[in-house]
Amino acid sequence: MKSLGVLLALAATATAGPKDSKKPPPKKDPPAPAPAPPAEPPQQPFPTGADTRKIIGILDVRVDGAPAEVGAQFQRDLEAQVDTRRYFLAPRLRMHDRMTSSTKWTEGCVVGDCLREVKVQTGASVVLLASLTGSGTSYGWVVTLVGTESGKVVGQKSERCDVCTVSEALNAATISTVALLEHVPDDLGAATTPVAPVPIAPNEDQLAAVRHGHKVAGVALTIAGLAVAAAGVAFYFANDHDKNGLVVGGGGGGLLLGGIITLTF
């Protein structure tokens, strides 16, 4: 019986055959995490002290008929093209963050005396207002620069294109804004020297004086001509028709004619 059990065990082993030698597939490593986006550069502080750059504050950017991102893109493009050695461009959000602490300024103040508070809170001597509107392939834009001391417009540019893309309109607005900034006077508080008007009144006075002189001369010639002509005629008849009287009378007639011509012209 023992031998029979051993044989059966051997037979079962032979029938089953060797065990499957395949190993389970290795586990795949998890994908590497995506690289983090580059950190945004730190915001530059507003100029103070020895930093004499002119602060240009973007106070309002309105977009209608185009993606809202266009407004942010305009500010980025402008910052990339403006001369940072002369200007410090303060984005709209930073300007409004600074103005939140003011008790004298309210949203919607874009021109006039209320802008002096913007100067106090941000140091900006000029604020920028931009508006871009569009529909289909037609876009228009307006860029305005306003002095914060006077509250008056110091520069403006507007344009419209009937067939263009929003990128083309945005690029044109950016280039025009940079050009406007280049023409902003260094001293916005200085009184502008008015252009001298054309001196119309002095010329009229001179002409009147000349006319008066001509009139006096004409009257004098006329009176002298009459007197000389009368004397010539009298001499002619008093001296038995002496021809010298005719000569004198003719000279008087010439003076008389000259006086009449002078009075006429």
Domain borders along the chain are 54-182, 202-264
Q: pLDDT value at position 175?
A: 94
Compare 39 and 232 and report the one with higher pLDDT. Answer: 232
Listed as own residue / partner, the contacts of 229-236 with beta carbons closer than 8 Å and 24 or more positions apart are: 229/253, 229/255, 229/256
Q: pLDDT value at position 200?
A: 40
**CATH code of domain 54-182:** 3.40.50.10610
Q: pLDDT value at position 178?
A: 94
Compare 140 and 46 and report the one with higher pLDDT. Answer: 140
Q: pLDDT value at position 50?
A: 86
pLDDT band for position 258 (50/70/90)?
A: low
What rounded mean pLDDT belongs to the chain?
Answer: 75
Q: pLDDT value at position 48?
A: 82
Can you name the residues that pair with 55 across neighbouring β-strands? 88
Provide the residue type at 121 as one letter: Q
Q: pLDDT value at position 138?
A: 92
Q: pLDDT value at position 119?
A: 92
Percent of the chain exceeding pLDDT 90 equals 38
Q: pLDDT value at position 251?
A: 65
Can you name the residues that pair with 128 across neighbouring β-strands? 58, 145
Compare 77 and 253 and report the one with higher pLDDT. Answer: 77
Tell me the three state secondary structure of residue 90.
strand
pLDDT greater than 80 at residue 19: no
Overall pTM surpassing 0.75 (yes/no)? no
Q: Are 230 and 264 in contact (CB under 8 A)?
A: no
Q: pLDDT value at position 64?
A: 92
